[in-house]
Amino acid sequence: MNSVSIEDTAFLAALVDTFGDSVLLGEAIPESCQSDWTGHAPCRPLALVRPATTQEVSRVLRFCNEHRRTVVPQGGMTGLAGGAVPSADSIALSLARLSGVESVDRDAATLTVRAGTTLQAVQDAAEEAGFRYPVDFGARGSCHIGGTLSTNAGGHGVIRHGMTRDQVLGIEVVLADGRVLDLMNSMIKNNTGYDLKHCFIGAEGTLGVITRAVLRLSPPQSDTHTLLCALPDYPSAVSFMHRLRRAKLALEAYEVMWQDFYTMSCGWQTKQPPLPTNYPLYVLCEAEGSANHLELALEEALSAGEVADAVLASSTTQARELWAIREATAEFPIKLAPINFDISLSIPDIGNFVEAAEAMLHKHWMGVRIVNFGHIGDSNLHLTVDGHSLTEDTPQTRHAIEAEVYQLVGERGGSISAEHGIGLLKRDFLHHSVHPDTLEVMRTLKNALDPNGTLNPGKLLS
């Protein structure tokens, strides 16, 4: 139980007095607001406030700023970096009540939405209007648009459509002192100086609270083919990707699974593996374009020895079964004790990195189990260490493993966060990927926008 000081009691009384029913205290604060998907130790904040309008967000932030109380913005709590995890003395600000798609502009192919709307609801509204919102990943039913913007989320469509940042035309954002910045641009061409929205996208709630957004929509998908291939080695995965592109196929996803991942995931499925489990590498690819072009490219790759075996889905059900192998990652928190790495490296270097990282991990932690997959067309590798396979799975061991892996990433000029953000979990390793001068400019920006340091302190920057 959190202890509440006299000062806190007076502040909470004033908070409830000002914001009434939208404030929850003590045991009324749901567990879902106390931690995210990282499995970080849950922490009950001093209060949870649930504003339903931008004006309310503004009033809450002004109030907390005047009282020098820290505020932790919360979306769907599906983050994988601990960015939304509150501290015991903070006020959690849930955007869940600020939800709903406001409008779709068919002429401009844009959608205006409130921050607390789920990604799934945005995808559905786009589809209903004859478009597609191309950001997609497993947490679509729970994560909020505000959360996806604040983490600049990726997913498997990035290879074709880019990250969340690339889908955003405008935002409305509330600053720490309560000022509302109207950056709700809806025009594709608009060169009027600094494009400030990009400071807030990917800022993980440290610079402002995003309340609304204008998103770009894409045309609906047509003639999409789903293909699973077994490959002899990593360079073949890279050259097969080029071959598909040369065949005028638009890659919607190119998900490479190392043997360790494929074998483990197939063991979790109810059906027989679609391809034998003895190949070094597998790629699940989704491509838009002519079926003839795809079959021809596949035949060429088979005769060149680039692809060893393949299965092309002949129905939506079969495609879904192939995707289930890749989406086994959603089971990781239940079936493994995962230490997750979400890193970026140059595309040709990813295969060598996996070998180097595995050799290093096996040398220090004998018998450790490692599984790998990556959106390699986006330079993104997800390496997972199973804590169950460690002799001692302690916070110290986990920290030592992280330090070694991030050191290796830094030495190779990679990024310690490809798409999940920095949050709490990677904050102390940021220097491996960000130059001290850049860190200084980031701190200057933080101080300029939030001089009292009330917005999500301790996240992203130390």
Catalog residues that contact ligand FAD under the rule CB under 6 A.
Answer: 36-37, 72-80, 83-84, 95, 115, 137-139, 143-144, 146-148, 150-151, 153-155, 204-205, 209-210, 330, 419-420, 423, 456, 459
Sign of CA pseudo-dihedral 185, 188, 193, 194:
positive
Beta strands 71-74 and 91-94: pairing type? parallel
Beta strands 23-25 and 47-49: pairing type? antiparallel
Nearer to ligand FAD, 233 or 327 (CB): 327
Beta bridge partners of 118: 144
Which of 81, 73, 82 lies closest to 35, judged by CA? 82
Give me the least distance between CB of 130 and ligand FAD, in Å please: 26
Give me the least distance between CB of 176 and ligand FAD, in Å please: 11
Nearer to ligand FAD, 285 or 301 (CB): 285
Nearer to ligand FAD, 37 or 279 (CB): 37
Q: Are 36 and 83 contacting, i.e. CB atoms less than 8 angstroms apart?
A: yes
Give me the least distance between CB of 455 and ligand FAD, in Å please: 8
Nearer to ligand FAD, 19 or 332 (CB): 332
Give me the least distance between CB of 433 and ligand FAD, in Å please: 16
Beta strands 180-183 and 168-174: pairing type? antiparallel
Give me the least distance between CB of 238 and ligand FAD, in Å please: 21
Give me the least distance between CB of 93 and ligand FAD, in Å please: 8
Nearer to ligand FAD, 79 or 351 (CB): 79
Give me the least distance between CB of 59 and ligand FAD, in Å please: 16
Nearer to ligand FAD, 133 or 279 (CB): 133
Give me the least distance between CB of 32 and ligand FAD, in Å please: 10
Give me the least distance between CB of 462 and ligand FAD, in Å please: 15
Give me the least distance between CB of 151 and ligand FAD, in Å please: 4
Nearer to ligand FAD, 74 or 236 (CB): 74
Give me the least distance between CB of 314 and ligand FAD, in Å please: 27
Which of 280, 343, 462, 304 lies closest to 80, judged by CA? 343
Beta bridge partners of 93: 49, 73
Nearer to ligand FAD, 218 or 407 (CB): 218
Give me the least distance between CB of 76 and ligand FAD, in Å please: 3
Q: At what angle do helices 6-19 and 54-66 cross, to 10 degrees?
A: 160
* Angle, CA 144 vertex, CA 143 and CA 145 arms, to 5°: 125
Nearer to ligand FAD, 151 or 379 (CB): 151
Q: Which residue is nearest to ligand FAD (CB)?
A: 147
Nearer to ligand FAD, 135 or 275 (CB): 135
Nearer to ligand FAD, 75 or 338 (CB): 75
Nearer to ligand FAD, 78 or 236 (CB): 78
